[in-house]
Amino acid sequence: MNKEKIVAIISSVAIIVTIIYSGLNLYAVDNLKFRWHTKDFKLFSMTGDSQLEACNTLYFPATFKKYDIEMVYQSNKLGTYSSLGTTLAPSSSSVLNGKFTAGDFGGALVYLMFLDTEMSGNDIARIDARQLQVLTRLDTSFLGVIPFSITKEYSGYEFVNIMNQEVTNFCKNTLPAGDKQPIDKNVVTEFKRISPKESKSASKLIEAPQNMQLVVHYLSGSSVNAKIVDPSGIVIQDANSSQNTVELLVAFKTETTGKYTITITNLGSEEIPLHELLEQK
């Protein structure tokens, strides 16, 4: 066999192997599993510092460049959660950091909050969770140079169930030994409904010194008051919402470690749903 034929055979084998490898990668990427890295996922969970877990259950690696989760309500785009891609070894999982972006971030937060409330079984006027669509897109490539995207569509209920699925022992056991679960710095209270002139309080144990921020979300046109009392009983913040807003931001610094009491009061004349997020700045 002459040298030219040997080179041709080797080149052909290399091309075939490359095509097969790329094809297997597309198949593996299409079969990746995703779930939220912490328990009790809600749509609102995507708006803070958050993480996804990706699981490759196949016996060959999977490489993708980006994973997008786009939420559309009544044909209007609410926002997109995006995480950078990675290469998952065979039979392995990895935790991915992501970020939520939206054209109207405040408006998106309110919609997600009330969609969560609706999906948890509490009826919210003018909100129909059945009209929420979730579009996912995995960006990868074929032969290393040809862009290729895998898209899937879910209802809001389907997507929440997927994110809340129990990870199999197989995926769970593939995490490197000694890995620790990330500490969630955000403390989210339950969704509340407050009657006119009613107040509701919650206490949180917070270490000092820390810069904190209380975020209260509500329907536009609502009027609320947020009061924060330190462990010694001193009121350190007392703030009212502004007219025609959907969130109230209250920043404060903890000087003493202990329980800080947050009290929210409905100053309006109608019952309102609201949601609180206490976060470390």
Q: How far apart are CA 49 and CA 100, in angstroms?
A: 9
How much is the pLDDT for 10?
A: 66
Residues 251-265 have a mean pLDDT of 89
CATH code for 187-280?
Answer: 2.60.120.380
Residue 256 has pLDDT above 90, yes or no: no
Are residues 169 and 87 in contact, defined by beta-carbon separation less than 8 angstroms? Answer: no
Q: How far apart are CA 93 and CA 96, in angstroms?
A: 10
210: pLDDT confidence band, cut at 50, 70 and 90?
Answer: confident
70: pLDDT confidence band, cut at 50, 70 and 90?
Answer: very high
Strand-pair category, 62-73 with 76-88: antiparallel
Residue 95 has pLDDT above 80, yes or no: yes
167: pLDDT confidence band, cut at 50, 70 and 90?
Answer: low
CATH code for 9-173?
Answer: 2.60.40.10
Q: What is the residue extent of each domain of the chain? A: 9-173, 187-280
How much is the pLDDT for 180?
A: 35
Q: With a threshold of 0.75, does the pTM exceed it?
A: no
